[in-house]
Chains A and B, each alone.
Chain A
Amino acid sequence: MLKNRIIPILLWNGYTLVKGQNFNNNRRAGSPITTIKIYNSRDVDEIVLFDISKKNLKIIDTDFIQSVTDCVDVPITIGGGITNISQMDDLFLSGADKICLNSVNFENANLINDAAKKFGSQAITVSIDVKNINNEYICYYKNGTISSHKKVVHWVKECVEKGAGEIIINSIDHDGLMNGYDNNLIKTVSSNVKVPIIAAGGAGSYKHFYEAFLNGANAFAAASLYHFTNSTPAEAKKYLLKKNVSIRKNFNINN
């Protein structure tokens, strides 16, 4: 049986790692390489890195990506600002295991399809940023600044039909507040598609991971929780194992 996953999300602004609230007011959160080395040594299941530098660069900084991927021996997903296949080629060649698409999907309806055909759905993650507007879940893009006016249920189905292998579902309303995920949003998404769901936005304790699990998430992403508190992925795993959630146990050398 496939394990549920503990995933730290890292936001890179071009200079340092950052983390804010509701996609705003970013605080510095340390050096990417040091942080990733620590996560890797602590046996996280995967790492997600988003470049939010807004530089809108057409060219991937392959040196930076390689210096990141060289530090990890777990799968790593890289996203942020990807708009074409050639950037994906560069990312995979630089050691990314999956790439994550978000804003571009609202501007180029075929890219998920083309990417999935070329690299396989298993390598294509789609991230969806959602705000609750008058009790409707509406998808936003460009770092949460533009409304697509699309409802999340329609959008997530469309993305999966086109070939998204998994979905990161992120609540802008809950982001960085550490009061828990938007569990209703997770349930809405997980009950409408069959691909794995990564819950994001709002985790502030291990209990929140368990709530997301109960609502159909297969993976639990967090940023502030690890950046700003004493919580660790290893402790999160212990907690979930006690709750009988299927989680990869941390490796112990067995003499």
Chain B
Amino acid sequence: MITKKIKVGIINYGIGNIRSLSNTITKIGVIPDIITNPEHLNLYDKVILPGVGAFNEAMRLINKMNWRNAIIEYALERRKPILGICLGMQILANYGFEHNKCEGLNLIPGEVKSLKELGCKLSTPHIGWNEVKITQNNFLFERIGENSSFYFVNTFAFDVNDKIYQVAVTEHDIEFTSVVVKNNIYGTQFHPEKSSKAGTQLLKNFINA
């Protein structure tokens, strides 16, 4: 049960379907706002950065719509919690290499590379339910059992510069980073909003913490 009113926002920079994310958060007991104006970002206690599609297209929209500075100020200066989901997690990195090299938000040191480049010999995209192995304890996993499964759709993965930022991994021929954390900045490669009860619990942990 949520006692104090937490203001949760979902950043809408024009990429991806945020309907199911918004539905899942509503089920937790908080009605999220869809934020379309970067100047409103600081009104929120917690924000979620979603995304599906290609890294450079997402960054093009982030830059074009003046989200970059707003997100960086929110996360680095105000140190408020932000959770990136799927492509939203990947663009937290320094660079992405989908199509061509593209600068990310530089919030968590690392680069986003294709699973193939990282050594995966199985077919990609990696789609479906897969286990998430916790490598460092984090409040995001509270009440979620060891090796719970979450729903993934990814061809690329976050290659962290330092394992300190990796708190969970997933195996698809190779082990890749499935959850990143640096201070108040969080990211999941999987879609918690499509991951049934485990995913709902993770979102609940992020929002209620």
> Interface SS of chain A: helix, strand, loop or mixed?
loop
The interface on chain A, measured as residues whose beta carbon lies within 8 A of the other chain's beta carbons, has a size of 33
**Cβ-defined contact, A73 with B130, below 8 A:** no
**Cβ-defined contact, A252 with B194, below 8 A:** no
**Cβ-defined contact, A73 with B195, below 8 A:** yes
**Cβ-defined contact, A2 with B143, below 8 A:** no
Minimum distance in angstroms from B202 CB to a CB of chain A = 11
**Cβ-defined contact, A2 with B130, below 8 A:** yes
The interface on chain B, measured as residues whose beta carbon lies within 8 A of the other chain's beta carbons, has a size of 33
**Cβ-defined contact, A2 with B144, below 8 A:** no
Residue from B19, B125, B144, B172 in contact with A69 in the complex, judged by beta carbons closer than 8 Å: B19
B125 partner residues in chain A, CB cutoff 8 A: 120-122, 165
Q: Does A241 contact B (CB under 8 A)?
A: no
CA distance A40 to B126 in the complex (A): 23
Q: Does B136 contact A (CB under 8 A)?
A: no
B144 partner residues in chain A, CB cutoff 8 A: 251, 254
Residue from A3, A93, A165 in contact with B129 in the complex, judged by beta carbons closer than 8 Å: A3
Q: Does A75 contact B (CB under 8 A)?
A: yes
Q: Which of A69-113 contact B (CB under 8 A)?
A: 69-70, 72-75, 92-95, 97
> Interface SS of chain B: helix, strand, loop or mixed?
mixed
B128 partner residues in chain A, CB cutoff 8 A: 2-3, 5, 196
Contact mask for chain A residues 1-43; partner B; CB cutoff 8 A; 1 contact, 0 none: 1110100000000000000000000000000000000001001
CA distance A33 to B149 in the complex (A): 26
**Cβ-defined contact, A254 with B17, below 8 A:** no
26 CB contacts below 8 A, A to B, read A1-B130, A3-B128, A3-B129, A5-B128, A5-B129, A43-B197, A70-B23, A73-B20, A73-B194, A73-B196, A74-B194, A92-B17, A93-B17, A93-B19, A95-B17, A95-B19, A122-B125, A122-B127, A122-B153, A196-B127, A196-B128, A251-B145, A251-B198, A252-B145, A254-B146, A255-B143
Q: Which residue numbers of B lie inside 8 Å of A, CB to CB? A: 17, 19-20, 23-24, 27, 123, 125-131, 143-146, 148-149, 151, 153, 171-172, 193-201
